[in-house]
Structures are given as structure tokens and as C-alpha cells.
């Protein structure tokens, strides 16, 4: 069951506009919490979140040697590098720029860590 008192959504004109509105919302209502973006991430992400006043860090996402998601590194960073209550930017699908997406099993692992660490998931859905 989903507790709808803890879900928010907004429709915007563009992906950049959506990320900007979300970033401003988080900076105002969840201040002093860093955002962690995947490495690599869409070229605009870091600038959008920094200009909104959020401290931006990155978590391992892509393994350049295997051309696959670095799920072990990602989970380790979300668990140990990101302080509890961090904002985690996740690309829902068609990860930009790699095109590498998480499997259903990997998503379950990521969700478990987000719950464990009480992170806030911020989805960019292209």
C-alpha cells in the first residue's frame, strides 16, 4: 500500500523545468540535505541542483569497463557515502547519458537501501 500523504507530483513544460522546480522545492523544504546524482549524469543536472542551493555529490552508477550499471558501487555509495536523509536522483528509465537501466532486482535493492537510510528519491523520468 502507498501512503498518498507522502507522495507529490507536478507536471512541467520540460525536463529541465521539472528538475529546476523540484530542486527549488527540495532546497526550500529539505534544506541542508545533499543531493546525490549518478556518475555520469545528464549534463544539466549538477548545474540545476547547485544553482538551486543544494550541495551536489555523485554516486557510482556506470562501470565503463563493462558498459553496465555498477550496482555494487551504487549500493555501497548510497549506503555509506550518502548521509541518512540525502536526496537521491534516479533516472527512472533510459538513463542519460549511458542508456543503462537497472533491472527489477536491482531496483528492489536500491529501494531497500533508500528505505534503510531514509533517503528521499527524486526521479527524473525522461
| Cα–Cα distance measured from residue 44 to residue 107, given in angstroms and rounded to the nearest whole number | 24
Q: For the whole prediction, is pTM greater than 0.85? A: yes
Min mean pLDDT across 11-25, 26-40, 59-73, 97-111 is at 11-25
DSSP type of residue 87: E
pLDDT, mean of residues 33-38: 97
Indicate the burial class of 32 (C-beta count within 10 angstroms; 0-12, 13-18, 19 or more): exposed
Residue 2 predicted with pLDDT over 80: no
Using CA atoms, how far residue 77 sits from 1, 31, 41, 64, 95, in Å, is: 28, 21, 15, 17, 18
Average pLDDT over residues 75-104: 96
- pLDDT bin (cut points 50, 70, 90) of residue 7 is confident
As a whole number of Å, the end-to-end CA separation of the chain is: 26
Amino acid at each position: 500500500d502507498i501512503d498518498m500523504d507522502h507522495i507529490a507530483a507536478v507536471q512541467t513544460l520540460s525536463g529541465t523545468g521539472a528538475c529546476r522546480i523540484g530542486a527549488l522545492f527540495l532546497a526550500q523544504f529539505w534544506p541542508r540535505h545533499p543531493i546525490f546524482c549518478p556518475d555520469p549524469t545528464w549534463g544539466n543536472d549538477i548545474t540545476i541542483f547547485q544553482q538551486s542551493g543544494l550541495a551536489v555529490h555523485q554516486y557510482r552508477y556506470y562501470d565503463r569497463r563493462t558498459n553496465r550499471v555498477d550496482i555494487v558501487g551504487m549500493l555501497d555509495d548510497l549506503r555509506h557515502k550518502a548521509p541518512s536523509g540525502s536526496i537521491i536522483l534516479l533516472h527512472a528509465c533510459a538513463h542519460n547519458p549511458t542508456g543503462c537501466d537497472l533491472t527489477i532486482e536491482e531496483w528492489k535493492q536500491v529501494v531497500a537501501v533508500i528505505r534503510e537510510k531514509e533517503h528521499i528519491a527524486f526521479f527524473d523520468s525522461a
